[in-house]
Amino acid sequence: MSAITDPMRRRWIAAAGALVGGHALAQVMPTAEDVPGIRALDEYRAGRPLKFGRLKLVVPRIADNGNAVSMRVVMENAPAGDAGVRSIRLFSETNPVPLMARFDFAVPPPRVEIESRIRLAGTQRVVAIAELGDGALEADVVSIIVTLAACLDGS
């Protein structure tokens, strides 16, 4: 996905251009227009709106190798009890299989934080969606550049 067509990357590059002198880039808050069209995701949503801001998907901006990219999904101050997080799903924009993983909690966990390593078939966006007890969806979208290895490995 090139910088021209990926709206998130355009905003990120614009934000980077606006900052001066080595400050860490603030995470750009996604909006509904940043969510890529993924059929499995749309089927799961079933028309429900996505709310942004509480769920955070943390990945490196650039991955040296798409085989294993560190990923952390976290919701600070998550609601408890019946309104708590019941499941988290990860969707890939361009992997052959869009649903990367799903995590289900019979009882909301004491801390909504899961870390793992994802596999990415190239530069793309990844969407994390948490479903709350009442069916509401909280989401985050990130854009990751996956670079190719400099040398081929036939070992």
Partner 1 sequence: MAFARIVVPPRVARGEAFEVRVSIRHPMETGFRVDDVGKSIPRNTLREVVVRYGDAIVLRASLGSGIAANPYLRFFVTARESGPLAVEWVDDAGEPGTVRADVNVA
Partner 2 sequence: MTRIVAVAAFAAALAAPLASPCAAAEPGGRPDPARSGLGDVAPSIAALQADDAANPGMLWVDRGAALWSASVGSNGPACSTCHAAAAMKGVAARLPAWSGAAGRVVDLEDRIDACRTSRQHAPPLARGSEDLVALTAFVAAQSRGVPIHVSVDGPAKPAFERARAFYTTRRGQMNLACTSCHDDLAGKRLLNETISQGHPNAFPAYRLEWQAMGSLQRRLRACLFGIRATMPEEGAAVLTELELYLAWRADGLPVEAPGVRR
| Residue 76 engages partner 1 in binding (rule: CB under 8 A) | no
109 binds, among partner 2, partner 1, none (CB under 5 to 8 A by kind): partner 1
Query: 3-state secondary structure string, 130-142?
Result: EEECCCCEEEEEE
DSSP symbol at 148: P
Per-residue binder mask for partner 2 (CB under 8 A), 111-150, x = binder: ------------------------------------xxxx
E-strand spans in the chain? Answer: 50-52, 55-58, 62-63, 69-75, 85-92, 99-104, 112-118, 124-132, 137-146
- The CA-to-CA distance between both ends of the chain, in Å, stands at 30
155 binds, among partner 2, partner 1, none (CB under 5 to 8 A by kind): partner 2
List the interface residues with partner 1, window 83-142 (CB under 8 A): 90, 92, 95-107, 109-111, 113-120
Task: Tell me which residues touch partner 1 (CB under 8 A).
Answer: 67-69, 90, 92, 95-107, 109-111, 113-120
